[in-house]
Amino acid sequence: MLLFFLLFLAAPNSPLVHPEPLPPSPSPRPESIFLLAGQSNMAGRGGVVNDSSTGWIEMWDGVVPPKCSPNPSILRLTANLTWVKAREPLHADIDTNKTNGIGPSMAFANAILGQDRSLGSVGLVPCAIGGTRISEWERGTFLYDQLMRRARAATNAGGTIRALLWYQGESDTVEESDAVQYKGRLEKFFSDVRTDLQSPELPIFQVAIASGQGPFTDKVRKVQLGLDLPNVRTVDAKGLPLGPDQLHLTTPAQVRLGQMLTDAFLQSMSRSASLVSEASPGGPKLVIHVLTFFMWKFIRAVLMN
């Protein structure tokens, strides 16, 4: 008997010698997806400094605040359109011509997960490119097409795009013509994004710039703060600490901005839920009365039979 068992083990097709391979683990799939677009302060320059030891080449200091730490429930869509565990700098493989550091998005994602677990896992879709004007985000441009391509790839495996986080405008403060046309271009951009994503009520959270590259900063800020579009909310970055270049937010400022965006997002969700409840005749009480009525009819029918 032992001889037969040994022969069985030595057989080329023995399941013990060639066990069935385990099925591959499923790819991570986020449930709540957020698009991140704009220019350098969205991509993140927190902790980016000029390093004299490298000939004044910009370097990231590598410091990641606890509120920006990786979280198994926060994913990032890479440049090759795969989901991986998110970690700073989020835009490292997107804004490739610049040195990236801390932005607002990891602080935002960690904060919303800490306050509302019903959102499930979060997927961040980095699309921001430093130094870009609003005209470079018009429909048909490379940046716009890339935003659409990445947004669609993000939802291929399921999940819902919850919002667009938009932080841009510093580059439009240089030329007066850009500042003058900013309002029309911004409104069209938001409209085109909603149309092309087939999401006419997509929540948009824009950041009013805290700094500018030219003399027309106040003109661009006035447009951003005065924008009156449905489901578009503005978070004002004015007053947050800036780095030595007086253009980019510091790491603590980005963490604070992430919390400000979280507050705006959760407030909008609460407001939307209230509107749905108010729009229902009688609200929750009506639902309870209807269910009670049908339950009583069911019990009565059973008793009569």
* Residue 16: Cβ-neighbour burial (10 angstroms; 0-12, 13-18, 19+): exposed
Catalytic residue among 245, 272, 274, 277: 245
Residues in the chain, total: 305
Whether 172 is a known active-site residue: answer no
DSSP three-state, residue 265: helix
Whether 40 is a known active-site residue: answer yes
DSSP three-state, residue 208: strand
Catalytic residue among 91, 171, 178, 248: 248
Q: Which residues pair with 84 in a beta bridge?
A: 76
Query: Hey, CA dihedral for 267, 190, 160, 256, is it positive or negative?
Result: negative
Selection from 89, 47, 40, 11 nearest residue 252 by Cα: 47
**CB-side exposure of 300: number of CA atoms within 13 Å?**
6
Catalytic residue among 32, 40, 121, 171: 40
Whether 27 is a known active-site residue: answer no
Helices then strands, counting H and E runs in the chain, come out as 8, 9
Q: What is the dihedral of CA 47, 53, 57, 63, to 10 degrees?
A: -20
Q: How far is CA 158 from the centre of its chain?
A: 15
Q: How far is CA 182 from the centre of its chain?
A: 23
- CA distance to 281, 287, 295, per residue, from 290 (Å): 12, 5, 9
Selection from 94, 141, 100, 108 nearest residue 32 by Cα: 108
Query: Which residues carry out catalysis?
Result: 40, 245, 248
